[in-house]
Amino acid sequence: MISRHRRLFVATAVIGAVADQVGKLWAVAHLGGLHDRQVTLGPLRFELSRNSGAAFGFGRGLTPWITAISVAAVLALGYAGWRSRSRAWALALGLTTAGAAGNLIDRLTRAPGFGRGAVVDWIKLPFYGPVFNLADVMLRLGILLGFTLLIRGGAPRRGSSDEADGAGPAV
């Protein structure tokens, strides 16, 4: 039987990656085309952007390398998330995996080709410079939660079931 922590990790990672891809499909369908459009909803502005580099557009031209690193990261995060023994770590690793996987899917499936695809960004806030996507949000939330757990409880380690409430540092 699969543990609660594994189910939480898998559900978070899969639902997060799917939500990211649905958002990107909407953005490409409604914001792209011959005349790129913008949609405004309060302080949010939705505009289509494609990023072949890493965070903040750094590393343009290195997309195959970024893709390879992303594959390794998703595999490592998946392994760590599967072995997590606390709800908090399962959630943190699930969010981080969802974000990394969501952007990796773009690199593997979008133009200009396999392993060289540009990530679709589509969310813009007035107080935040770059355009981003749901995968970026999940990635940052997962990393923030992970750092908070590290600061609060030390380095993650394989723990016993009495640490399963999320209060301990066990992964």
**Residue in 20, 36, 121, 162 annotated catalytic:** 121
> Which H helix or E strand runs over 168?
none
Phi/psi for 134 (5° steps) reads -65, -35
**Residue in 20, 36, 106, 136 annotated catalytic:** 136
Place of tokens 């392993």: 115
Distance from C-alpha of 68 to C-alpha of 165, rounded to nearest angstrom: 35
CA distances from 51 to 13, 18, 48, 57, 144 (A): 22, 19, 10, 6, 23
Is 20 part of the annotated catalytic residue set?
no
β-bridge pairing 119-125 and 38-41: unpaired
Is 121 part of the annotated catalytic residue set?
yes
Write out the catalytic residue numbers: 121, 136
